[in-house]
Amino acid sequence: MQNPLMQTIEALAKEKGIEADTIITAIEDAVLTASRKYYKTNENLKTRFNQETGQVDLFAIKHIVQDVEDPTTQISLKEAQDLYGGEAEVDMEIEFPKRTDVLGRIAAQTAKQVIFQKVREAERENIFAEYNQRIGEVISTTVKRFESGDLIVEIGRVEAVLPRKEQSRAESYTPGERIRAVIKGVNRSAKGPQIVLSRTDPALLIKLFEQEVPEIYDGTVMIRGAVREAGDRAKVAVYSRERDVDPVGACVGMKGTRVQAIIRELRGEKIDIVEWSDDVILFVTNALSPAKVQRVSIVDDKERVMEVVVEDKQLSLAIGKKGQNVRLAAKLTGWRIDIKSEEEKRKEVELQFGALEAGDPQAQMDALFPDMPPQVEQEPAPADLSAEADERTQSAEAEATEESEVGEFAEAESTEVAESAPSAETEKLES
């Protein structure tokens, strides 16, 4: 039959959700701490819990050596052999029992504090290890109280916090009310692990669909993306692995029963369920639902920019209240969406054709390529440099003209001399 102390230890371990050995270790450490305070010695003390008697035994450990240097922790081989016979050898340890009934009330209070501290630490570690592995999981909680706008809820025997920034603005809570939230993280604090919950994270929407739609739970329908503006609107992109299964219809359910259950859980938040596609143009068209799109064109593939043209009556619906619809569609698809009405697009095309008819080259380039940066015009050469170049050219031409005239004059003189020379010799012969 177990002693009463062991039965108490097992009951406490079951209540706190920790191992009984953890509590026994805490008791041994507590008695050891109290003994060191009482004896105030440098002895190497050790405690051991006796499960049969329920007592904690205290020992002073001494090391067997040839030459004793510290009598409090060492014993000579000769003395050890006198106590224990020839079995004692060098480097062995001998336990010397010490009394624990003399520790007193203060030592008992110290032991009690140490036990409580060790048990709390073990409980915190267990809670952290358990909930740190459950991040992203949806759990059911009970509202307990409010603290500075934050909501304190209970998860079984553990308290968690739902911060104000993680609460939907369209929701209000009362103590004792049961709500579902997603575990966003677990933080270590001085008071123990703090479990942080969220009602605005898209993971909550995804997990609710997994719970309500069997096709999503078994993997037939996949959720490829989800974005939310908590309390107002959300968009979910779904995809079916089987051709015979309509992903949107499976999520909506018969007469909207499945999606209505999720909307009630999110307190009236509107949910758009769109079909995911590999074709980005088709995906963007679906993501802008419920607006009907006329044309979609890719403006910049590298920067992921698209231009969407809708009917004039559909423009406000495509943009949404304060741009909410197009903003959620851009987050869901990962593309920047520029929405224009047919009237705006028609005026833009007329402006381009007008520039082409005007014949202005720069206006034509701006109309045809509105995104192209303007070309930098070349600056003309300075006036003084061009004038100096003209003067140098004129002087060079003048010098060339003078040289040609001098050459012609010299040639003419040589011709006249050549013609006059024979006539002079002829006159001499005649004389």
Which stretches within 181-323 are classed as H helix? 202-212, 214-217, 247-252, 257-265, 280-287, 315-319
360-371 burial code (b ≥16 CB/10 A, e <16): eeebeebbeeee
Q: What's the pLDDT at 408? A: 46
Q: What's the pLDDT at 284? A: 93
Supply φ then ψ for residue 319, to 5 degrees.
-75, -40
- Give yes or no for a contact between 353 and 323, defined as CB atoms under 8 angstroms apart: no
Q: What's the pLDDT at 187? A: 86
Distance set, CA 203 to CA 98, 192, 250, 275 (Å): 60, 26, 19, 19
Q: Across the 431 residues of the chain, what is the mean pLDDT of every consecutive 10-residue run?
A: 74 81 85 84 85 83 84 83 77 84 76 80 85 90 90 88 88 89 86 86 92 92 94 93 92 92 90 93 92 90 91 90 92 92 84 69 56 48 46 52 46 41 40 32
Q: What's the pLDDT at 190? A: 64
Tokens at 62, concatenated: 């001494």
- Give yes or no for a contact between 228 and 256, defined as CB atoms under 8 angstroms apart: no
Inter-helix orientation angle 104-132/4-16, to 10° = 30
Q: What's the pLDDT at 149? A: 85
Angle at 22 between CA 16 and CA 28, to 5 degrees: 125
